[in-house]
Structure 1
Amino acid sequence: MTVRSESVSFESEGETLRGEVYLPSGARPEGGFPAVVVTGSWTTVRQQMPALYARRLAERGHLALAFDFRGYGDSSGTPRDVESPDQKAADIRNAVTFLAGHAQADPGRIGALGLCAGAGYTAAAAARDERLRSLALVAPWLHDAELVEALYGGPEGVAVRRKAGEEAARRWRETGEVTYVPAVSTTDPEAAMYGPFDYYLDPRRGAVPQWCNRFAVMAWPGWLAFNPIAAAPEIHAPALLVHSEAAAIPEGARRFHEALAGPKEFVWTTGGQLDFYDQEPAVTTAVDAAVDHFTATL
């Protein structure tokens, strides 16, 4: 199906968020298209994996929105590039408000698809917003305090990052200066993601011009304290998880799935974490599962 897109903007907590709505080419059905908010991994902008998934959903008959969070990409908001789970969850809820008022969308059939960290933000948003009627979480990064310690070098590694974040936040409050490190690097061990994360560094994949590859150090305490698994008992909307044992923290996905309060489905497949961002067959597997899920539940 041919897809058309339109540039849009909407408000979130006093800031202007910008994005694209991807629309199926067919005539608007009575009541409007089912609509999906699409979000990607941490530090990213809409031109990366959100745009790919939004377009693929529109090809299958769903209106889909990909947007830049506050302080990222083309959206307003300062300080820039601060990975705030609370802010991002609020931005998703405001994206739902935008879609509920979109002329082509059915306000009673709004869902969300979150990839990687976007899955956690989507979960946090859904726990507080019953307008989100269905969720699809792809290669979800879902952690709790125990998993955070395992991921970041034990209590000592967590403490080092938390202290650095607190010092960076104090510096920002006192001077207005934001301390940044690379979001991804193969040479700088201070990077938020240190290692061969090829998706982000390859201009043929995720290294798009709109992505500035930086992480505000002040964000560490909020990220380390974030517990999207705790949101699961508050989520009553039907939820699909698509994941792989070779992708990020499958144990977190299992804990989250077990704790969900509403109808739930798990699709285990193959592929590494970065494969789900733009590689086949991982993307098609995830999109097919999400479309089947949204068709049944929206």
Structure 2
Amino acid sequence: MMVSFDYKTVVTTLHELRKSGERKSALVVTLGENLIHQGYAGKLGDEVWAVYEQIFIAALDLGNDTLATKCLENLDKRFPESPRVKILKGMKLEAEDNLDAALSMYENILQDDDANVAAIKRRIAVYKAKGQDQQAIEALTKYLDAFYSDAESWLELSALYLSFHLYQQAGFCLEELILLQPQNHFYHLKYAEILYTSDNITVALKEFCRVVELCEDNVRALLGIKLCTSRLLNLPTSAITSSASSSTNSSFSLDMKTISDLNGLAIERLSIIYSKNQRGGNSANEIKIVISDWLGCDLS
């Protein structure tokens, strides 16, 4: 039985996806193919070019080369000298694993406009795809000097630094993100995990506590608090005092009682959270046993 094609619903759905930034590629391709094959594209007016671009990117995601080529040809015919269309051509070259040609395409765009953000980001993506992480770091650093408030790029730069075990530099990126979005618990969590990995336990504990303050019962943060407090409880009191006094936040004080209380609270909250998980299966039960042993409590 053939399902009727609702033109208005399709156009509205595609518009809402562009507006929200959601990348539901399978849905976009399905709707887009129907829109094009049934001859409705001509009814879109000027909106058709945004739709072609949207369908093109979704088609690349799914490896639908025929659909991607058709959309790109229509865009290129209408905007033959457009830098935006040239970037789409570069993306198609990337999808075909022709990375050198794609890089050359982006370099040419940047020669004419060195502030073309899309070209800068695609060039960075090519550097990463070619395994040229050092060039990607340099390009991201230069980009962030000009576009400081791009949170996504700070996170990307942090991940690149982490791949080289450069924890101080990765931590700096997260500090910048926290300055930009202080209420984003995910950035505090990433920062805390970097601090813990680099053995800065007291400041890591502070950041894990901040995550719980912003996002109650965040399991990763509670596990972080448990890890930090367990480490600190095994240190001499003098070592804890010295470590706390060197913290970047002078208002953050630590003593054995505070550490012990935090440890107990983390265990209590984790016990409650995992006890609520009543899903069956051997794997779930085995996980509960491991967590129960680690927390030193009964989760049944």
The structure where strand makes up a greater share of residues is 1
Fold conserved between structures, TM > 0.5: no
Q: State TM-score, norm by structure 2.
A: 0.23
Relative contact order higher in (CA < 8 Å, ≥ 6 apart):
1
Higher Cα Rg, which structure: 2
The structure where helix makes up a greater share of residues is 2
